[in-house]
Amino acid sequence: MLKTTRLGQQPCLSTLSNTAVRVIRCQAASSPPTPVPEKAPLVQRQQEGADDGKPFVNLIPNNGRWDIGIPPVMGAHLMASGTIAPISVSKGAGVDLTPHQFQYHTTETDTSVLLYVSPEKAQAGLTKLVVEAAEAAVKAKGAFTLVLSGGSLPGLLGPLASAKGIDWSKTHIFFVDERNVPHSSLDSTYKAVQEALLSKVPVPAAQVYAIAEGLTVQHAATQYEGRLISIPASALPRSTEGDFPVFDLILLGVGPDGHVASLFPNRPETAATKGWVLPVMNSPKPPPERITMTMPVINAAKEVAIVALGEGKREIVQRILETQALPGALPAQLVRPKGGKLKWLLDVASAELLDIASWGEAKPFPRSAF
């Protein structure tokens, strides 16, 4: 159960804006929290049938950046083993002779967390988010580019088949990562998306960009990248910085280790600053061979949504949103669309451990007594 004091105490004003979405704006750390009028706890409202499906929108202040950076001295805390952690001295940002292989960029990202009272409402919110992105994209350039993840995400796409407002003849479907397996394999994300959605909507086959079958994973990555590059900029614009493809909407899941797509913690492909699609061998998550779009491609998108629902995601959601890890340790923390929008879609179960009231404060480094 979401601890009521957590939502009740947050230094935010809850107002019903004209878009009928509850906007809970968190104040930056610098200003004292504004007394918040008492609100019925989320779960209680759900029980009373006040579940109107509209999300609680929580804005992450300061673009989610940490005020203090990585402290110069870490350690001296009691470890689970019962011993005191040794003190380690990190040179700190800007002093190191060689920059860390993972870097957070400082470009503004509009980051918000949409908290739904149930997985069903979150799925409805995801459908609405896709429809809105599709309508805006087709209006702006006559095409909508939607990029999908595997795992549990395809299972959430069914309602899109009956949603109004998506022009499937102008929609292009891509995969942010894909397992290097035949399309008929149960491990194929293409198969899962085909069954959940593509078999029910009139999207032209030429506009569904599935991985080529029967290639080595290196060749499959190169072939996929070549297909993306061949798409004219009118349908798939390029970013001014780095000439990366600007997709309209990328839907990501997040793994228990904080990976997104097939970008796993502390792996070289996760740190890549060049290239659009890379091969991944011996993936920590089976199957072992995959292709994946790179982090710069994800961060070039107009909008990215990370969908994390259910109790099983509550720990990793809390770690990603509320703790400071060394760059690269939690790849989801590297997802910051440059000048784009990042939305987290959570439900009460996956948001269980969040302490939204503390979001305006500087994040202490979790492993330091200093």
Which DSSP category does 176 fall into?
A: S
* 364: preceding bond cis by omega (within 30 degrees): no
Q: Which residue do the tokens 């089976």 mark?
A: 286
Give the nearest distance from C-beta 26 to ligand 6PG in angstroms.
Answer: 27
Reduce the DSSP state of residue 357 to 3 states and report it.
helix
User: Contact positions toward ligand 6PG, by CB under 6 A?
Assistant: 149-153, 177, 189, 253-255, 259-261, 285
Q: How far is the CB of 176 from ligand 6PG (least distance, A)?
A: 6
Closer CB to ligand 6PG, 144 or 264, in the complex: 264
Question: Which residue, 199, 194, 200, is CA-closest to 178?
Answer: 194
CB neighbours (10 Å) of residue 240?
A: 11
Q: Are 144 and 138 in contact (CB under 8 A)?
A: yes
Instruction: Name which of 254 and 346 has its Cβ closer to ligand 6PG.
Output: 254
Question: Residue 15 and residue 18: Cα distance in Å, rounded?
Answer: 9
Strand ranges in 141-300 using DSSP code E only, listed in sequence order: 144-148, 171-175, 177-179, 249-252, 277-280, 290-293
Q: Taking the complex as a whole, how short is the minimal distance between the CB of residue 41 and ligand 6PG, in angstroms?
A: 27
* Pick 259 or 267: Cβ nearer ligand 6PG: 259
CB of 292 to ligand 6PG, least distance (A): 8
User: Are the C-beta atoms of 112 and 57 separated by less than 8 Å?
Assistant: yes
DSSP E strand stretches across 18-94: 22-26, 56-59, 73-74, 88-89
Would you state the torsion angle of the CA atoms of residues 204, 209, 214, 218, taken in this order, to the nearest 10 degrees? 170
Q: What is the separation of C-alpha 329 from the centre of its chain, rounded to a whole number of angstroms?
A: 15
Structural contact between residues 114 and 346, judged by C-beta atoms closer than 8 angstroms? yes
Q: Which is nearer to ligand 6PG, 259 or 314 (CB)?
A: 259
* Alpha-carbon span 4 to 10, nearest angstrom: 10
User: Residue 233 is encoded by which pair of tokens?
Assistant: 């900029």
Cite the DSSP H helix spans in the chain. 4-9, 42-47, 119-141, 189-196, 217-229, 268-271, 295-298, 314-322
For residue 249, the tally of other CB atoms under 10 A from its CB is: 24
Comparing CB distances to ligand 6PG, the nearer of 256 and 268 is 256
The residue behind tokens 């929008």 is 341
Compare residues 11 and 255 and give the one whose CB is closer to ligand 6PG. 255
Minimum CB distance to ligand 6PG smaller for 215 or for 235: 215
Closer residue to ligand 6PG (CB): 53 or 286: 286
Which one, 70 or 353, has the nearer CB to ligand 6PG? Answer: 353
Q: In this structure, is the dihedral angle defined by the CA atoms of residues 265, 271, 277 and 278, taken in order, positive or negative?
A: negative
Residue whose entry in the numeric block shows the structure tokens 């599935």: 210
**Shorter beta-carbon distance to ligand 6PG: residue 74 or 304:** 304
